[in-house]
């Protein structure tokens, strides 16, 4: 049997060092290098542009996978809404990170901070894109609505943790007040991100919903909905849901 | 006629502008009147607390034998208030977003109060770092922790006193 050494036919390498492909490759495999490049202001605008595109593409992919639960226009709606959620969160948190750095006598540069946050969110978005097969597998197994909601929250939680780990690496370049900045940013991202995702719901669309809407009117909150989903996944339904289901079962036995 | 030196200090604008903005934003859910009253309420609570607790800090700091002139302690106090104001301005987009999108308008004020308190706590951490070289760690903690607790109690009480009537439309005793 003939064996071919791995270096005989090297994998194709992106032409032109420092191009978008290399930026993405670095973000995926060598995040510490990306953190150092951002610290050194190395090709900041080109990197940021690339990572914004990655962020939009990956979150749109994950959103579209969620939208397939209902199908039709919901695929497009979810693919548009999930990038919007991340961009709204980015827009809200970037000034906060900058002013926290200024207030706590840490190195502050708005362009660098925006680039850091975009890179962190893009790394999380890459994780989301990698988790998309989980959603497809759940669709294939006919997972029930509430279980799919919990799987989505779990997937986004993992992506968020990876994002935060990258951000922590960049914040740790200056040790002064890094815990305070990280705690405030993490809390704010958590609250704002949850609210933005709640605002732009639905992504999956409840099975009993008759039509598909781009956004619901203001009602309830993310934490209430998560609690309801946990209860429903355990078979404990709220009274309104129970009434609905018992009526439906009565109507069509 | 030239402006007094203190009014030309940019730290004053951060220190007052941050709470003013943060207070006004959730007021948008309650109408124009509450918007115009909530911002100044936050500033008034801060100014009243600073007016009482600022000189007290210098007195306790000096009486317990820590190093630092009136100018140095005053400067550190002003830096801390300016830092808190910067953080308040940083929280403004988040508070605006939350205020505009929460289902119940009473929740909007809670986010503003959380941002207000968070900013002031970060300002206190800046004050700790500025004063810390003037005394040992235990000495600084023995002065600053009770001082901060008293400031939180007094400031918190004033915020409730000023903010609740605006939000509820009634009086708080």
b/e per residue A10-29 (b: at least 16 CB within 10 A): eeeeeeeeeebebbbebbee
Q: Are the beta carbons of A39 and A173 closer than 8 angstroms?
A: yes
| Cβ contacts of A146 within 8 Å, gap of 6 or more | A229, A232, A233
Q: Which burial class, exposed, middle or buried, applies to B79 when counting CB atoms under 10 A from its CB (0-12, 13-18, 19+)?
A: buried
Residue B98: its chain A contacts at CB < 8 A?
Answer: 191-192, 195
CA–CA distance, A169 with A157 (Å, rounded to integer): 18
Which ipTM score applies to this complex?
0.87
CA–CA distance, B79 with B14 (Å, rounded to integer): 10
Nearest to A100 among B87, B93, B129 (CB): B87
Please state the domain extents for chain B.
Answer: 9-168
Distance from CA of A109 to the nearest CA of B (A): 14
Query: What is the count of structural domains for chain A?
Result: 1
Task: Give the other-Cβ count within 10 Å of A156's Cβ.
Answer: 21
Domain membership of residue A51 (yes or no) is yes
Mutate to test the interface with B, among A103, A192, A197 (most CBs of B within 10 A): A103
| Cβ contacts of B41 within 8 Å, gap of 6 or more | B23, B159, B162, B163, B166
Output the tens digit of pLDDT for each of chain A's 253 residues: 455 554 555 444 443 457 889 999 999 999 999 999 998 888 899 999 999 999 999 999 999 999 988 888 889 999 999 999 999 999 999 999 999 999 999 999 999 999 999 999 999 999 999 999 999 999 899 888 888 989 998 999 999 999 999 999 999 999 999 999 999 999 999 999 989 988 888 888 877 777 787 878 777 777 667 667 677 767 776 654 444 443 333 333 3
Residue A100: its chain B contacts at CB < 8 A?
Answer: 86-87, 90, 122
Structural domain boundaries, residue A35? 21-207+217-243
Residue B84: its chain A contacts at CB < 8 A?
Answer: 103
């Amino acid at each position: 049997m003939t064996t071919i050494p791995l270096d005989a036919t090297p994998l194709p390498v992106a032409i032109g060092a420092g191009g978008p492909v290399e930026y993405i490759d670095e973000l995926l495999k060598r995040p510490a290098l990306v953190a150092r490049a951002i610290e050194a202001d190395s090709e900041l605008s080109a990197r940021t542009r690339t990572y914004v595109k990655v962020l939009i593409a990956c979150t749109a992919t994950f959103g579209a996978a969620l939208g397939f639960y209902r199908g039709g226009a919901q695929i497009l709606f979810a693919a548009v809404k999930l990038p919007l959620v991340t961009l709204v969160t980015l827009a809200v948190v970037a000034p906060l990170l900058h002013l926290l750095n200024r207030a706590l006598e840490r190195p502050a540069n708005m362009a660098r901070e925006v680039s850091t946050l975009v890179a962190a969110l893009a790394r999380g978005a890459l994780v989301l894109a990698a988790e998309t097969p989980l959603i497809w597998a759940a669709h294939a197994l006919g997972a029930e609505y509430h279980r799919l909601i919990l799987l989505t929250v779990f997937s986004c939680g993992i992506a968020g943790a990876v994002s935060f780990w990258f951000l922590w690496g960049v914040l740790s370049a200056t040790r002064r007040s890094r815990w305070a900045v990280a705690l405030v940013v993490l809390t704010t991202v958590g609250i704002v991100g949850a609210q933005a995702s709640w605002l732009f719901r639905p992504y999956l669309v409840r099975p009993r919903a008759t039509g598909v809407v781009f956004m619901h009117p203001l009602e309830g909150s993310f934490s209430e909905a998560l609690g309801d989903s946990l209860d429903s996944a355990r078979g404990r339904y709220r009274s309104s849901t129970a009434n609905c289901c018992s009526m439906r079962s009565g109507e069509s036995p | 006629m030239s402006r007094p030196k203190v009014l030309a200090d940019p730290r004053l604008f951060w220190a007052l502008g941050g709470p003013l903005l943060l207070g006004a934003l959730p007021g948008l859910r309650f109408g124009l009147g509450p918007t115009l009253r909530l911002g100044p309420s936050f500033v008034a609570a801060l100014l009243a607390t600073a007016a009482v607790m600022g000189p007290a800090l210098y007195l306790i700091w000096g009486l317990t034998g820590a190093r630092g002139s009136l100018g140095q302690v005053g400067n550190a106090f002003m830096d801390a208030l300016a830092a808190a104001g910067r953080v308040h301005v940083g929280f403004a987009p988040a508070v605006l977003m939350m205020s505009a999108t929460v289902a119940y308008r009473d929740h909007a004020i809670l986010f503003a109060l959380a941002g207000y308190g968070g900013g002031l706590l970060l300002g206190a951490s800046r004050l700790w770092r500025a004063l810390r070289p003037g005394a040992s760690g235990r000495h600084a903690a023995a002065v600053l922790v009770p001082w901060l607790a008293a400031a939180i109690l007094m400031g918190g009480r004033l915020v409730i006193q000023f903010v609740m009537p605006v939000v509820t439309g009634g009086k708080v005793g």
